Amino acid sequence: MARITLEHGEQLADPQAMAAVLAPLGVRLERCVPSPTPAVAELLERPQLDEAEKERLLTLLDPVIAPLVEPDGLHTRDIVVLHRGIEGLDGILVPFARAHRHDDHETRWIVDGEGVFGFVRPGGEQMMLTVTAGDFIQVPAGVEHWFVLTEARRIKAVRHFTDKAGWVPRYTGTPLRM
């Protein structure tokens, strides 16, 4: 279940309180728990997936997530599978861990593991939103943010895009304080 840590240390776990803090940014956060079918569970349990397994998992999950992504015209999708056993994981994560914006929404459905989205709030205060399996997040175009893994160092996240170019950052150079 998602939780927010504000820059001054306050933590929020109540969905209404989190929605109030995310509203000025336009960030959408919802719960969407994957179907517990044996085929989905078996693929989610694997730390690594080859390309065929990724596509199979996406196909199994498409009907569950469709109501959340189709209204926004999010027609391109993939799945990111990261875990501590990946050689060079720290280097792979560097581009995500710097403050940036996108010209497209950044939409993620966390289906396994966990990660942290950091945000720069209006006025410059920063906050961290920890997302876990079953959390669906949409960061609107233009919102300054970054992403890191938690100490668990494991995540499977379905990404949806309106632009076929996919994930394209515009780095802001904002120093991160959290």
* pLDDT mean across residues, the chain: 94
Specify the pLDDT at position 57: 97
* One-letter amino acid of 32: C
Specify the pLDDT at position 161: 83
Residue of higher predicted confidence among 97 and 73? 97
Which backbone phi and psi does 61 adopt, to 5 degrees? -85, -20
Write the DSSP symbol of residue 88. T
Q: Tokens 């939103």 sit at which residue? A: 129
pLDDT tens per residue across span 55-66: 999 999 999 999
User: CA–CA separation, 102 vs 170, rounded Å?
Assistant: 6
68 three-state secondary structure: helix
Specify the pLDDT at position 144: 98
Specify the pLDDT at position 167: 81
pLDDT average, residue stretch 65-82: 87
pTM assigned to the model: 0.94
Specify the pLDDT at position 127: 98
* pLDDT-above-70 percentage for the chain: 99
Parallel, antiparallel, or unpaired: how do β-strands 3-6 and 76-83 relate? Answer: unpaired
Comparing CA positions, the residue from 72, 46, 36, 56 lying closest to residue 156 is 46
Model confidence at 157, pLDDT cuts 50, 70, 90, reads: very high
Model confidence at 165, pLDDT cuts 50, 70, 90, reads: confident
CA distances from 18 to 35, 69, 101, 120, 132 (A): 25, 21, 21, 15, 15
**pLDDT above 80 for 164:** no
Comparing CA positions, the residue from 136, 162, 163 lying closest to residue 65 is 136
